[in-house]
Chain A
Amino acid sequence: MRKRWLLLLTGTLALVGSLIVGPAATAKSEAPAAGTVIIGHDQEPTTLNFYISEGNLYATSLAMSPVLVGGMIYNDKAKLIPVLFDGEPKILKAEPLTVTFSYKANAKWSDGRQITGNDFLATYRTIMNPNWDITSREGWEDIASVKVKGKTVTVTWKKGKAYAAWDALVASSPVPAHKVAGQNFNDLWRDSIDIASGPFKFLSRQKGTQLVLARNDAYTAGPKAKLDRIVFRYIPSTPSIFQALQSGEIQVTEPQPQLQIVDIRKNPRFKVQSGPGYFWEHMDIQFGPKGHPALKQKYIRQALIQGINRAQVREALYVRPGLVGSVKELPVLQSHIFKPFEQYYQPNWGIWKFSQRNVIATLKKGGCTGGPDVPTANNDKIWTCPGVGKLSFRFTTTSGNQLRALTFEIAQKQLRSVGIELVPRFGPAGTVFGQVLPSGDWDIFMFTWVGGPTSSATSFSLYGCGGDQNYMNYCNKKASDLLKKAQFTPDPNERAKLLNQAEKIMAQDVMSIPMYVRPGFLINATSVKGPILNPTQQGSTWNAETWTVSA
């Protein structure tokens, strides 16, 4: 009896095992077809139409930027370079702002039709059609006229409404006039797209699993793609992305900062690129009536910034764990307006070095009492300053974010040792962003701004007097005027000059402390040549036509 049962059990297990393992084990490891690169991403585009709110995801941009290319695209230095345009657009007149640009003579759609100024006009009309759920109409709303002559377009803005990021606006991917006419744009390109202006075209989509692009052989505006296909595989769990990468199921990925990156860096089968992006963490200081009175004193804010070792914070978060290869890859952020990789970046906040002795000297000079004479590790003496009370500040940020918790711990410890106290007021993101931040009822608030190549132009909104998102209630008339002027200055050199002038004033004021730029990561198997990290929404597929893959 016992034998029979054992046999039955063994038989069952063997049957089940053979059903699963048998056919699979005989399979050869699957190598993607020649000329195919597989990109793993943690988010799937819900629609392929990146103009509408549903398609307003990085995942959509990543997949569609090789399909619907712009007149110009952002390169890895966040500089606009012509693709469909035959050169850089030109300013014809500063007031009212009038610009002109032309599409290349050989720029055409994948169905053979020429890309002309009418396509730009169709883009403008589509974006301005109130029936469509367009994500952003900024800059487009102030256009007075669009004149088309063949492949050349002249755009004029309303008087006094010069749009600073005009070059990025006109460089937008044009929509094909012959495809959008009479269509419901909200429903267009939901699951597939039958037209392309770039080096790749849409081939197929298996929702929830993958999206496949194939080389667009009709593309003549630039070099033809070397790859046959790009496949996007959607894997929502970051640890699983790393497993898929190791096992060759995907070859390229842009992961979230994870410790697995450290192991991948040591693996010769992979190349890891990292660098600063457009997400920057900062500590804002409240100037409004609900904020601590001490923080309205410039010398106290200057003491505060010198009491935090910002370089050490960056090292503790990203360099020491090995997430980024070296400090050079992630410089200390010394500007709120430009990012370290940008052409116009100036280290305006570099005037404030970490110096605990300076903190104590500054506070003593201001007449503060009760603090330590020298930086002390376990200090419990907190400064009290004339007319503004004890230097004990509420520190607000989101709960459940390890990087922010660690940043707070470092800052709290360093400031404590020089007699400044930080009291944590952490809360869920919904509460702190939805209620606390706009209420102005906080002293110091640490969070991230999500920017982009054009966001410097709209810095007035963040730091200008009465700016829409100036939750600090900070107002320096001189800086604010410069920021306002920059907003309507179309010449990028002139605009950058104004912005840097404003920031020099802001840096003296210490209205906010720039902490660090969140790094972006790009990992590719060494069999894939060509991927270069791009800090903008353009994504790593910005130069996909140059990629090659070896077996």
Chain B
Amino acid sequence: MLTYVIRRLLYSIVVLVAASFIIFTFVSVSADPLSFLKMQPTASEITIQNITKRKHLDEPIPVRYLYWVKDALTNKFGTTTIGDRPILPDLTRVMGHTLQLVVASELLALIIAVAIGVFSALRQYSAFDYAATTFSFVGLATPVFWLGLMLQVLFVNIYLWFDVRIFYTANLSGVDPGTGLHFLLDRIQHLALPIMTLMVASIASYSRYMRSSMLEVINSDYVRTARAKGLPERRVIMRHAFRNALIPLVTIVALNFGSLLGGAVVTETVFALDGMGLYFVNQLNAGDPYPVMAWLMVTATMVIVFNLIADIAYGYLDPRVRYD
């Protein structure tokens, strides 16, 4: 097992290095972080020269990449091209916000999706099953930006009709968020709509996986045997069927979770959440390869780690799986 993990981690380092070079090249070729400054007729030539020299913008891309590697390893991902602002504190801040959003939405989505999936499988072709299937297809087909906006419109109208603020439509916290319980309440009111937006797609997808996985398990021989032995239905479902049916879902959730930590770009933009996705978009628009690369490294590491977690969890849930 340990050998397997070490081997996977070593492979991952090679993948990270290759991905970092490719992305650095693409970002550096496609955008000039000084373009906004250069477009201004009165921009100071000395300033442009200083930044160019300081950030090695006049060097060939492979050389600039090596400077970035040095900065990333010895200087916590270095600083931004314009302003020399340290990247890590900003990245840490937005990561914390994205974690709040993703953990809450994934947990709630999992609870609801598993319940729907199991119930749909146990009552296959029932009215509930058809309704859940319809919801899943609608949920999967609904664009996130549209759903986000519709939720905003709905709760804005509720506010206008009843003069009661249930949820806020933008930002992470209120003007005066307070402390303790007041802070928590404020945060819930601000995160509720983006959580709902993210949950819809997750529930739609997870419930389908859960349903099909559960259907496969409850029709298998060992479940039939368990029933034939006279075990109560509840014990058959929860002990024998449910645990095995979870295995495929674990992989999907782990992969989805890893990629969501890179930021739910659309959701964070619609709800003005200061998270990883919005950070990435802003930095990409600025054409600054340094913060983009820092974001990439963190996101790629998350995906790799959660992939590994999924594989290990798979082995735990299914003892037949062996790691060579």
Which positions in A face B, CB cutoff 8 Å? 1-2, 5, 8-9, 12-13, 16, 20-21, 23-25, 27-30, 32-33, 36, 38, 40, 46-47, 52-54, 56, 130-138, 186-187, 190, 206-210, 212, 231, 233-237, 239-241, 243-244, 246-249, 430, 455, 458, 461, 468-469
Contact A54 B188 (CB under 8 A): no
Beyond contacts A236-B272, A239-B149, A240-B271: 16 other A-B pairs, Cβ-Cβ < 8 A, are A2-B123, A5-B122, A23-B188, A25-B166, A47-B85, A54-B82, A56-B36, A130-B50, A208-B97, A208-B274, A210-B171, A243-B170, A246-B156, A246-B160, A247-B156, A469-B41
Q: Which residues of A contact B274 (CB under 8 A)?
A: 207-209
Give the docked Cα–Cα distance between A236 and B149 (Å).
Answer: 14
Q: A27-B185, A208-B97, A236-B269 are known contacts. Are A12 and B112 too (CB-CB below 8 A)?
A: yes
- Asked if B156 contacts A133 (CB within 8 A), the reply is no
Inter-chain CA distance A231–B176, complex, in Å, is 10
**How many contacting A-B pairs (Cβ < 8 A)?**
180
Task: Kindly identify, within residues 265 to 285 of chain B, every residue whose CB is under 8 Å from any CB belonging to chain A.
Answer: 269-272, 274, 278, 282
Closest to B172 in A: A209
Residues of chain B within 8 A (CB-CB) of A135 are 37, 40, 42-44, 47
Residue of A nearest to B189 (CB): A24
Cβ–Cβ < 8 Å partners of B42 in chain A = 135-136, 138, 458
Known contacts being A208-B97, A237-B272, is A247 close to B166, with CB within 8 Å?
A: no
Determine the distance from Cα of A15 to Cα of B274 in the docked complex, in whole angstroms: 28
A249 in complex: contacting residue of B83, B90, B116, B170, CB < 8 Å: B170
* B window 34-70: CB within 8 A of A: 36-37, 40-44, 46-47, 50-51
Q: Could you say which residues of chain A place their CB within 8 Å of the CB of B166? A: 21, 24-25, 27
A9-B116, A47-B83, A231-B175 known; A134-B44 Cβ under 8 A: yes
Known: A2-B123, A236-B278. A458 touches B41 (CB 8 A): yes
CB-CB under 8 A from A16, the residues of chain B are: 108, 111-112
Looking at the assembled complex, report how far the CB atom of B88 sits from the nearest CB atom of chain A, in whole angstroms: 14
Q: Would you list 23 pairs from A and B whose C-beta atoms are within 8 A, ordered by A residue?
A: A5-B119, A8-B115, A12-B112, A23-B188, A29-B159, A32-B175, A38-B175, A47-B85, A52-B83, A56-B36, A56-B37, A136-B40, A136-B43, A207-B93, A208-B278, A209-B272, A235-B171, A236-B278, A240-B170, A240-B272, A246-B160, A247-B168, A458-B41
A28-B270 in contact given A47-B83, A135-B37, A239-B149 (Cβ < 8 Å) = no
- Please report the C-alpha to C-alpha distance between residue A331 and residue B322 in the assembled complex, in whole angstroms: 76
What's the least CB distance linking A474 to chain B, in Å? 17
CB atoms of A36 and B160 under 8 A apart: no
| Minimum-distance CB pairs A-B, first 6 | A208-B274, A54-B83, A29-B165, A235-B272, A138-B42, A136-B42
Which chain B positions have C-beta within 8 A of A469? 41
Produce 1/0 per residue, B1-16, CB < 8 A to A: 0000000000000000
Q: How far is the CA of A155 from the CA of B165 in the complex (A)?
A: 57
Chain B residues with Cβ below 8 Å from A30 are: 165, 174-175
Q: Give the total of B residues in contact with A, Cβ under 8 Å.
A: 66
> A216–B124 Cα gap in the complex (Å)?
68
A477 to B112, CA, bound (A): 76
Closest A residue by C-beta to B181: A23
Question: Do B159 and A53 touch across chains, with their CB atoms under 8 A apart?
Answer: no
Contact B168 A249 (CB under 8 A): yes
B163 & A29 in contact (Cβ 8 Å cutoff)? yes
In the assembled complex, how far is the CB of residue A336 from the closest CB belonging to chain B, in whole angstroms?
A: 15
Complexed CA–CA distance, A29 and B278 (Å): 28
Cα A132 to Cα B50 in complex, Å, equals 9
Is B300 close to A, CB under 8 A? no
Beta-carbon contact of A243 and B156 below 8 Å: yes
Task: A206 to B43: give the CA distance in the assembly, Å.
Answer: 30
Given A5-B119, A130-B46, A135-B43; A243-B175 close (CB under 8 Å): no
Chain B residues with CB below 8 A from A47, complex form: 83, 85
A46 contact from B41, B83, B270, Cβ within 8 A: B83
Are A209 and B37 in contact (CB-based, < 8 A)?
Answer: no
A53 and B82 contact, CB distance less than 8 A: yes
CA distance A377 to B271 in the complex (A): 48
B residues 209-232 in Cβ contact with A at 8 Å? none
* Cα(A9)–Cα(B114), bound, Å: 10
CB-based contact B51/A53 at 8 Å: yes
The distance in angstroms between the C-alpha atoms of A209 and B111, with both chains bound, is: 31
Contact pick for A209, options B83, B159, B171, B269, CB 8 Å: B171
A13, A46, A210: which contacts B175 (Cβ < 8 A)? Answer: A210
A455 to B149, CA, bound (A): 40
CB pair B169–A133 under 8 Å, yes or no, is no
Q: How far is the CB of B232 from chain A (nearest CB, A)?
A: 10
Q: Is the CB of A237 within 8 A of B115?
A: no
Contact partners of B80 in chain A: CB under 8 A: 54
User: Which of these, A12, A20, A208, contacts B111 with CB under 8 Å?
Assistant: A12
Q: B85 contacts which chain A residues (CB < 8 A)?
A: 46-47, 54, 190
Interchain nearest-CB distance for A61 vs B (Å)? 14
On chain B, the residues within 8 Å of A239 by CB distance are: 149, 270
* A24 neighbours in B (Cβ, 8 Å): 165-167, 185, 188-189, 192
- On whether the beta carbons of A237 and B269 are closer than 8 Å, the reply is yes
Which one of B80, B172, B272 has the greatest number of beta carbons of chain A within 10 Å?
B272
Report the minimal beta-carbon distance from A135 to chain B, rounded to whole angstroms.
6
| Residue of B with least CB distance to A136 | B42
Any chain A CB within 8 A of the CB of B318? no
Chain A neighbourhood of B189, CB < 8 A: 24, 27
Is B94 part of the binding interface, using a Cβ–Cβ cutoff of 8 Å?
yes
Q: Mark B74-117, 1 if CB is under 8 A from A, else 0.
A: 00000010111100001001100100000000001001100110
Taking the closest CB of chain B, its distance from the CB of A234, in whole angstroms, is: 7
Residues of B contacting A206 with CB < 8 Å?
172-173
- CB contacts (< 8 Å) of B159 on chain A: these are 29, 247-248
> Which partner residue on chain B sits nearest A469 by CB separation?
B41
- Across the two chains, which residue of chain A brings its CB closest to B266? A237
Q: Which of B6-32 contact A (CB under 8 A)?
A: 30-31
Q: Is B249 an interface residue (CB 8 A)?
A: no
CB distance from A542 to the nearest CB of B (A): 21
B-side contacts of A8, CB under 8 Å: 115
Given A24-B188, A246-B156, do A33 and B172 touch, yes or no (CB 8 Å)?
no
Q: In the assembly, what is the distance between CA of A135 and CA of B185, in Å? A: 43
- Give every chain B residue within 8 A of A27 (Cβ-Cβ): 164-166, 185, 189
**In the complex, what distance in Å separates the CA atom of A227 from the CA atom of B168?**
24
B317 close to A (CB within 8 Å): no
